[in-house]
Every structure is written in C-alpha cells, then in structure tokens.
Amino acid sequence: MSDLLKKAAELGLIAAGRGLDKQASAISQGLKVLKPASAAPYIMDALLLLGKKQYQQALSALEKPAFNDEALDAFKIFILALQGKRQQAFSQIQESDSVEFKPFLTEIKDSLLSNTR
C-alpha cells in the first residue's frame, strides 16, 4: 500500500475509533475503491458499529470481503469475545495460525480463560 493510502487508512481508523462516522465512512469507501484487498476499510466499518454496540453488524461488516485476511479474522475473534461468545472465540483462536496477530490473540485467550474461573 502506498504511503498516502497507509496514512488515509490510519486516519480512517482513528476517525472510526473516535466515532467520527462521516469522516471514517468516506475514507472507508475511498479505500474500498482504491485498495479493494485491504482489511482497513472493513475494520473501520466494524469499529464504527462497535462504538454503537452493534456487535452482530460489526461482525457482518468483517465478513463482507471476498478475501481472507488475518486482521479481519483477529477482529472477528475480538468481537465474539466482546459479545460474550467465549467458546466460539476460544475455538477460533485455537484454529488460528496467525503469526502476526498471535500476541493479540493470546491476550484475548488469556482474558477468556481468566473470566471463566
């Protein structure tokens, strides 16, 4: 991804995290056109929905892309954990072979295990 597109993705993720719907949505739509195989715009969409506590819709937003991506899979697991679907999240962590997101998934797994005691 070019530096300009990376910066746009970063700004979009920041906007989504802060609940700036219009700005994040505009950046997300642009990135879907300019970089269709990027996970970032789908994560932006999911973050906006998470901010509204629309967990199922956020999960659906991450399932829209026609490509596989470790970041999308990691965020799906995160959302399952937020929804309280511990067993499903735990199973997906066990199935994941992600190297890049292993620390993130390990934290989720540890959190799931500590909440079951």
Global pTM reads: 0.84
Query: pLDDT tens digit string along 18-75?
Result: 999 999 999 999 999 999 999 999 999 999 999 999 999 999 999 999 998 999 999 9
Task: For residue 73, give Cα distances in angstroms to 76, 101, 104.
Answer: 5, 9, 11
Q: Where are the domains of the chain?
A: 1-67, 68-117
pLDDT of residue 54: 96
